[in-house]
Amino acid sequence: MSKMARAGFRIALLQLKVGPSKADNLANALTRIRSAVRDNGARVVALPECFNSPYGTQHFAKYAEEIPTGETSRSLSAVAKELGIYLIGGTIPERTPTATYNTCTVWSPEGALLATYRKIHLFDINIPGGITFRESDVLTGGDQLAVIPIDGARVGIGICYDIRFDELARLYRNKGCDMLIYPGAFNMKTGPLHWELLARARANDTQSYIATISPARDAGAGYIAWGHSMVVDPWAKVVAEAADGEETIVADVDFGKVDEVRAQIPVFSQRRTDLYDTKEQKC
């Protein structure tokens, strides 16, 4: 008897404009979340990294909120419940009594907080003539994965720089994930070179769907995001992609295709774990 094909869902990625007003950023996000559901029938909606604040170490303390009691968390919970959707809440600077994190929240159709994921790999780079940036000057790295069951699938969360680490994606594959979602804000140096490359690489590595969600590009910002939010299928094919401005893209995710790819190219079962092993899971 053949295995019953699994269903999927429609996902909307919101590439949002982000300005200095938290209230305006949040209001814009809520408007576009409602539009993505009512106009496009999205079951899952995903927001970009730092959607309620400008991206930059100098901004994190000012815009940080507690989770789940802060204004942004309350608003995301309410709109998820209102629309009956799963909401991947991009990221916001999270304030705790002891540290500040770059954190993604995930909300259920009932408005419940399903998961929080704190960015594990902090963005500390120095590219001469390009960009120097040190998140670790103000942020603390997380140490826990987040796996969310959605309509019979399992979805893992990473944030931006995390996508460069195939070990993290492998851990999610080991946990049975069918899709990985990365809110991110690659810049004008790394974006053209690596944004699509890494999304397709992680799709190929894990034979999973990959979604990357960027803020819209603002040439006048202190940190200029690349944009080009995209959905990549488990064959590593880009199936939906934004340009660089504010935009919503929608894709139908078919988890039967995940099963198909994994059956036809069974790398997971063919790994030579007698020579190498990445099964250890510390998160």
Point out the residues that are catalytic.
49, 119, 160
What span, in angstroms and rounded, lies between the C-alpha atoms of 126 and 117? 26
171 is written with which tokens?
Answer: 């851990």
Cα–Cα nearest to 158, from 149, 67, 147, 66: 147
What span, in angstroms and rounded, lies between the C-alpha atoms of 36 and 226? 22
CB 88, CB 80: distance < 8 Å:
no
| DSSP three-state, residue 15 | strand
Annotate 164-216 with DSSP letters as a single string.
G-HHHHHHHHHTT-SEEEEE---BTTHHHHHHHHHHHHHHHHHTSEEEEE-PP
What span, in angstroms and rounded, lies between the C-alpha atoms of 105 and 88? 6
Other residues' Cβ atoms within 10 Å of the Cβ of residue 11: 28
What span, in angstroms and rounded, lies between the C-alpha atoms of 97 and 274? 45
What span, in angstroms and rounded, lies between the C-alpha atoms of 52 and 190? 23
Cα–Cα nearest to 101, from 122, 115, 87, 131: 122
